[in-house]
Amino acid sequence: MERLLDWGVDVILWLQHFSPALDAPFHALTALGEEGFFMLFLPLLYWCIDHRLGARLTVAFLFSSQLNAIAKLLAAQPRPFDYDARVKKLAETRGGGLPSGHTQDAVVVWGYLMAVVRKPWMWALGLVLIVLVPLSRLYLGVHFPTDLLGGYVLGLPILWAFVRYEPTVEEWLKRRALGWQLVCAAAPALLLLVPGCVDDYAATASGALVGMAAGFVAQRRLVGFDASGPLWQRAVRYVVGGALLLGTRAALNATTAALGGGLRLVFLKYAVLGAVGALVAPWLFVLLGLAARPNPNLPASVRPR
């Protein structure tokens, strides 16, 4: 393993010979794999473009992120700048290096969109990002080539499983009672009980996955939100939903800080945020007349007045 890491350092040092000239484009590329980008992109897809695709892609992304967090803890591999002082740390990061979360997320997110959209432009965009986002992690000195390989090795089976089995699983869940659907949505939280598999990153991914999965289930049963509509309506939805999420996040940050923090509170904070984005925001859109009216058989409390 040491020989592989030494070879990886040589690759990184060669790439960093182009620094600082290429710092800006590689920072831009790596931003496309950051939490902040997905917090903007996934709600846009769910609220404003295609709510079904947005929900499915969000679950795939968060499930992948949870497994990545657990894999990092189990592998416990160093970062290049910790292993060799010659490597410049050009970006902030957290946790272990193997497997690369940016690589795994790029494979799952863009690979899923390539499989579903099936347009030449989507294939071109997806392939470029699946290659260049991981490459940016090498250039910035935060991953070894072996970390990227680990991200591809873990991401590809997750992508294949979602593309192959997600429609079957979704149909099976639709035939279950609401209570059982919510139990299934909460199941990922059980991974947090595995010794040595919990840190801040894992608690964040697991909380968001549980909250959003439960929110998607409840939204489909109780609200019947539809992301279609004129462009102005979609734009207003995005602004209103974003303001709701930001306000909720600020309130939760203040609350968790007052309570002293901890992994349980991190999990609960992101579970609440996930539920707000998946359920509360669409419900608000319907009440404000910013989204298509729900099924008339739904309870009157969720119909727009």
Spell out, as residue ranges, where the chain has pLDDT lower than 70: 191-197, 293-305
pTM of the model: 0.88
Residue 191 structural domain: 186-297
Residues 200 and 144 in one domain: no
User: Of 146, 175, 204, at which residue does a domain stop?
Assistant: 175
Contact 255, 287 (CB under 8 A): no
Residues 103 and 194 in one domain: no
Report the C-alpha gap between 61 and 209 in whole angstroms: 9
- DSSP string for 26-72: HHHHHHTTSHHHHHHHHHHIIIII-HHHHHHHHHHHHHHHHHHHHHH
Look at residue 7 and tell me if it is in a domain.
no
Look at residue 5 and tell me if it is in a domain.
no
Residues 149 and 269 in one domain: no
Q: What is the pLDDT of residues 53-92, one digit of tens each?
A: 999 999 999 999 989 988 998 888 999 999 999 999 999 8
pLDDT at 28: 96
Residues 210 and 139 in one domain: no
Report the C-alpha gap between 38 and 36 in whole angstroms: 6
Look at residue 305 and tell me if it is in a domain.
no
Residues 170 and 150 in one domain: yes
Residues 137 and 192 in one domain: no
Contact 211, 271 (CB under 8 A): yes
Q: How many domains does the chain have?
A: 2
Look at residue 159 and tell me if it is in a domain.
yes
Look at residue 18 and tell me if it is in a domain.
no
User: Of 120, 141, 175, at which residue does a domain stop?
Assistant: 175
Which residues 6+ apart lie within 8 Å of 293 measured at CB?
286, 303, 304
Contact 266, 279 (CB under 8 A): no
Residues 223 and 249 in one domain: yes
pLDDT at 193: 63
What is the sign of the dihedral through the CA atoms of 46, 47, 52 and 53? Answer: negative
Residues 33 and 65 in one domain: yes
User: Of 155, 175, 195, at which residue does a domain stop?
Assistant: 175
Residues 159 and 52 in one domain: yes
Look at residue 282 and tell me if it is in a domain.
yes
Residues 144 and 262 in one domain: no
Look at residue 250 and tell me if it is in a domain.
yes
Residues 124 and 157 in one domain: yes
Residues 135 and 200 in one domain: no
- Token pair recorded at residue 56: 């499915």
3-state secondary structure of 251: helix
Look at residue 11 and tell me if it is in a domain.
no
